[in-house]
Chain A
Amino acid sequence: MTDVLSSVNIAAVGCTKVGEHYERSLRCLAAESVLSCMRNAPDGLIPEALFASSFASDMLVSQSAIGPLIVDAAGLPKNIPAFRVEGACASGALAFHQAVISLAAGRFDTVMATGVEKMTDSTPARTTMALASASDMEHEGHHGATFSALNSMFASAYQKEYGVTSEQFALFPVNSHENAVTNDYAQLRNRITVKDVVSSQMVCPPLRLLECCPISDGACSILLTTKNLNGSPDGGVRVKGLGCATDTLSIADRKCLTSLPASRIAARKALTDAGMKDVSGIDVLEVHDAFSIMGILALEDLGFAEEGKACEFLESGGIKRDGGIIPTNTFGGLKARGHPVGATGLYQIAELFWQLKGAAGENQVKNARTGMAQSIGGVGSIVAATILGSEE
């Protein structure tokens, strides 16, 4: 599998700043990311298909059919095929996976994957309902479960099971914010402290405001190809592994509230593709810290920390960009770079791309050769894991 996937090269990436872009529409954001990507692309690469992702454009801005919309608005080659991919908050990563699979199958030589989310044209109430649609609407949403509420159940179960505190959880968003300080396109670039986090407004106990990611607009495009870049079949940033797994939609049907089995399975699949027996060979990590608890669980489910030990790992500086065992969320993660839902999975992959190319500027992790990204949809009802490697 690794040979087939390794034929896929990331040729270029482009993205918008993440934030509240009241002056720009969904189609403008998407177009901006495509144009930026193509400006960064080697000459002569023409996308033959688009894999498009927007989690909730239908609910948020009443716009469906975003495949043809983006081809049209972004000036992609006329009449190319477009495939929209959806998997809740993992939509962007899944669009990337589908793009890779289409190239590995030899159907196309060069494709574009574009993720976009426009959340600020909607009211907070409508946005919250749209986010809740990633949960089980009949059995969770109907009873008034918000997305934050469902995540908070995992947080309280974990804290109870392992005797850890919100102060310990807070280390995760503190790290994410630290990394966003030097990220020009991040939404939230302020440093925060543990005290800031635990004294912020309660959202759903035990989760507080500064443990929850913001509402964001943004778009990210990635150009992928099986053509040899730089005149050589080797080199560049290549796909080493893909893994995707689902789990029950409702968390009422889960056996436990302290782990995401889909995360474990997806990671295992990606590692198997990459010929890696564990994560010790991963140099840089981007995980789905929509809520602090999800960052904590990611470390355990992906295999970077033992069960119940993620907070100890955080306390030892394990995820620090400078000197940590596994630099994590190196551009701010969902919490600080932001979470334009349908684009997020692609932002993570773009961030790994910059790390592996040595193009991460002040955010550079030294000697990053292999990176992993994890993107979660729903409360772990679908998880996509991606491993990239550079040959340099």
Chain B
Amino acid sequence: MTKSTSLAWRKFKERYLFDASVCDKCGRTVFPKRMVCPGCGGTGFSGKKLSGMGKIISWTKISSPPEGGMPYWLVLVELADGVRVFGQFEAEGGEPEDGLDVTPVFRVLRKEADGGIIHYSYKFKKA
């Protein structure tokens, strides 16, 4: 991981606010944002905020995190409009399951060593 702030700064809106876009040509919701619509190749977009609510499509557990620390769950969630995203799962009250309805929560994702960046992002928990 890096101590550079610019990447994290660029990604704030996406990671904190589910700031997405809608393709002007085909209406597809694109999240995270892109330069080119993966559906139709269009390059014009309008803004859209997603709720972040969704359903678990698949999940697993990282038993030995490469950077150390406690094991955590990784989930693949299908949000509204068919957009799928990865996120960690907050397991208070149960483990992830396929098909579980989830809601986003704002959390610290990781802290870089030696006074580096504190990365925040959405995680998911049972709705």
Contacts and interface: CB of A to CB of B under 8 A. Distances in A.
Interface residues of B, number: 30
A168 to B, nearest CB: 19
A144 B84 contact: no
A153 B76 contact: yes
A146 B66 contact: yes
B66 A138 contact: no
Given A144-B62, A204-B63, A138 B84 contact: no
B60 A204 contact: yes
A142 B121 contact: yes
B66 A125 contact: yes
Given A138-B11, A253-B84, A204 B76 contact: no
A152 interface: yes
B61 to A, nearest CB: 6
Contacts of A142: 11, 15, 109, 119, 121
A251 B1 CA distance: 22
Given A142-B109, A204-B61, A124 B66 contact: yes
21 contacts: A124-B66, A125-B67, A125-B68, A129-B66, A132-B66, A138-B11, A142-B11, A142-B119, A142-B121, A143-B88, A143-B121, A144-B62, A144-B65, A156-B58, A157-B58, A160-B98, A202-B63, A204-B60, A248-B38, A250-B86, A252-B76
B62 A253 contact: no
Nearest to A151: B60
Given A125-B68, A144-B62, A153-B58, 11 more contacts: A139-B32, A142-B119, A144-B74, A144-B88, A156-B60, A160-B98, A203-B64, A250-B86, A252-B84, A252-B85, A252-B86
Q: Please classify the interface of chain B as helix (H, G, I), strand (E, B), loop, or mixed, using the class held by over half of its residues.
A: strand
The 6 tightest CB contacts between A and B, nearest first, are A128-B66, A252-B84, A152-B60, A204-B60, A153-B58, A143-B86
A44 to B, nearest CB: 49
Contact of A257 (B58, B61, B65, B119): B58
A149 B60 contact: yes
A392 to B, nearest CB: 47
Given A124-B66, A129-B66, A139-B86, A144 B60 contact: no
Nearest to B8: A142
A253 B65 contact: no
A204 B68 CA distance: 15
B11 to A, nearest CB: 7
Nearest to B1: A129
Nearest to B10: A138
Contacts of A156: 58-60
B121 A146 contact: no
Nearest to B98: A160
A129 B62 CA distance: 13
A139 B64 CA distance: 20
A325 to B, nearest CB: 32
A144 B11 contact: no
A219 to B, nearest CB: 25
A276 interface: no
A106 interface: no
Given A129-B66, A144-B72, A252-B84, A205 B60 contact: yes
Most buried by A among B60, B84, B85, B88: B60
Given A138-B32, A156-B60, A253-B84, A143 B66 contact: no
Interface string B63-97: 11111100010101000000011111000000000
A368 interface: no
A139 B32 CA distance: 8
Contacts of B88: 143-144
Contacts of A144: 62, 65, 72, 74, 88, 109-110
Nearest to B11: A138
Most buried by A among B15, B62, B68, B110: B62
B61 A205 contact: yes
Interface in A142-196: 142-146, 148-149, 152-153, 156-157, 160
A252 to B, nearest CB: 4
A140 interface: yes
Contacts of A152: 60
Contacts of B57: 257
Interface string A295-314: 00000000000000000000
